[in-house]
Chain A
Amino acid sequence: MKIFNQYFYLMLLMVVCSFIPYLMQPTTYLSDLKPPVSLIGYVPKEFSGWKVLDNKVANIVDPELQQSLSNIYSETLSLSFINDKDQVVMLSIAYSPAQTEGKYIHYPAVCYPSAGFKIESINQSVLKTKFADIRIKKMFAVANARFEPVTYWALVGNQVVLDESDSKLQRVKYGLKGIIPDAILFRVSTLNVNASEGFELNEHFINDLLEALPPDRRSQLIGI
């Protein structure tokens, strides 16, 4: 015969708990806290024997995929480079200003199979560069007559991540500090039937690129 009985207090408990997440939700965008990232001209067109390759071959991309990609990434950069030995690598950098539901970056390990590739092998490894040791993923993807060793890593905020659980963990770490992190996906690949040769070329290119970049962009890409 009371109003303030067990049921009332349970209701109070639940109502209060329904408001706490609002207080804890991250509201600060990491991208607002630093200078805006623009990928145009991000990478020098010529360095260490590498030169941008102007190939007019358009990538046939499924329009639905294109749409979902533009939802996630505000900026993408896709370039091919050729060196004096006529070896070609493909560079792809994508930037997502806010990692929230629906905008989580897609990893090549998921994207490539969805596009019809078969993953012959995929391993985690460490790339030793002059500047830092970077955790990388090495994925050998095959489709039709296309053999593509892909070397990639991603960054959530300034932490290197290699797959969805990695990035979820980092996202939550930022979230508990009230920050919504941004993300970068960095991918280098080449066409080579010989996987280890291809990976070596990728790593060679990455090293050359990191040396040629100004220090601020370099640390942005390797997470220092």
Chain B
Amino acid sequence: MSSRVYSSKFSNWISENQPKINYSFVLIGLLFLFIPTYLFLFNRVWQTESSSHGPLVLGIIFYLFWNKFDAFSINEQYQHPKIGYLLLIIGLFIYIIGRSQEILFLYVGSQIFILIGLILILFGGKTLKALWFPLFFIFFMIPFPAFVINALTMPMKVAVSIVTEQVLYLFNYPIAREGVMLHIGQYKLLVADACAGMQTLLTLEAIGLLYLNLVRSESILRNIVLGILIIPISFIANVLRVITLTLITYYFGNEAGQGFIHGFAGMFLFTIALLLIFSIDNLIQFFINRKIKSL
């Protein structure tokens, strides 16, 4: 007799809390899949300078999902289990291969397939559309394969070195360049991989796109133009950083150039780049508004 009372209390509790229980199940599944992923990223990958933008992007993604939480309450008529399950299974397969064979690109990238698949199975197309930005943002967190990074970093390093040399030469400094080695005065400076600005570029793009998303910029033109302009802005900021550090070494010696000024200069120029991005955005808005007014 008493066991029936208990079991009916239990089944009442279940009915009342069904949605929460359901979502907890999914959450538990996701935690099992991705906590190992993020532990791996934190301990092995994000410790290096070449991937230091990782935690920042992760934080932004959490924020974006939290911001858009009401997307999960959209009234959906249809779910899309066929496509959803297909993507989910593909994602899980990529996850298994990537994780067991330590192929980071697959391992971390599988998240996108898995999440999209789950959203299509459990929610629907409208929800997916509403969440496109946080999902797209996951791209910024995926570590690219080493050879892709190398292929991009090398030309960036060379470009930065060339511009630095030309600018300083213009101002009559005794500077010469050999590949990515700069000779100024009696000093020799190597433009290292970190100086190429790959990290800066990715971080700035991430922040720039986040900014656009937060201010809910409606104009597609504004989004695209700014997204593209961030690339030269980042490059310029990076060149300024290398020029600054070269001059510091020239005037104050090697110790000064390699010391804490190095990090400080980096942060300073990064901030300037951000401010430049926001100002240019205002400029774009100004021109777009003027165009609209004159029509």
Contact = CB atoms under 8 A, between A and B. Distances in A.
A175 B45 contact: no
Nearest to B37: A18
B103 A17 contact: no
A3 B36 CA distance: 27
Interface string A57-85: 00000000000000000000000000000
A171 B15 CA distance: 50
B23 interface: yes
A113 interface: yes
B96 A10 contact: no
A1 B193 CA distance: 57
A11 B26 contact: yes
Contacts of A104: 146
Interface string A162-191: 011100100110011000000000000000
A51 interface: no
Interface string A115-128: 11110000000000
B29 A11 contact: yes
B32 A15 contact: yes
Contact of B178 (A102, A144, A164, A168): A144
B96 A118 contact: no
B179 A117 contact: yes
A1 B179 contact: no
A24 B22 contact: no
B26 A116 contact: no
Interface residues of B, number: 45
A163 B146 CA distance: 11
Interface range on chain A (Cβ under 8 Å from partner): 35 or more
A129 interface: no
Contacts of B100: 20-21, 24-26, 175
Contacts of B29: 10-15
A176 B101 contact: yes
Given A10-B25, A21-B100, A24-B96, A101 B45 contact: yes
A5 B32 CA distance: 19
Given A1-B18, A10-B26, A102 B44 contact: yes
A8 interface: yes
A194 interface: no
A184 to B, nearest CB: 19
A7 B30 CA distance: 12
B121 A10 contact: yes
Contact of B22 (A5, A113, A168): A5
A14 B32 contact: yes
Contacts of B178: 116, 118, 143-144
B150 interface: yes
Given A113-B154, A118-B179, A11 B147 contact: no
B231 interface: no
Majority-rule SS of B interface residues: helix
Nearest to A23: B100
Majority-rule SS of A interface residues: helix
| B22, B45, B193: residue with the most chain A Cβ atoms closer than 10 Å | B22
Contacts of A172: 101, 103
A7 B92 contact: no
A39 interface: no
A65 B207 CA distance: 31
A17 B96 contact: yes
A193 interface: no
A2 B179 CA distance: 68
Given A5-B22, A171-B101, A14 B190 contact: no
Contacts of A55: none
Interface in B74-130: 88, 92, 95-96, 99-104, 114, 118, 121-122
Nearest to B110: A17
A2 B15 CA distance: 8
B267 interface: no
A118 B150 CA distance: 14
A133 B18 CA distance: 67
Contacts of A24: 96, 100
A26 B118 CA distance: 30
The 3 closest A-B pairs by CB, nearest first: A14-B29, A118-B179, A24-B100
Interface of A: 1-3, 5-8, 10-15, 17-18, 20-21, 24-26, 100-102, 104, 110, 113-118, 142-144, 163-165, 168, 171-172, 175-176
7 contacts: A7-B26, A10-B26, A14-B92, A101-B40, A116-B180, A116-B181, A118-B180
Given A113-B157, A176-B101, 12 more contacts: A1-B14, A7-B122, A13-B29, A14-B30, A14-B32, A14-B33, A17-B95, A20-B96, A114-B193, A143-B179, A168-B103, A172-B101
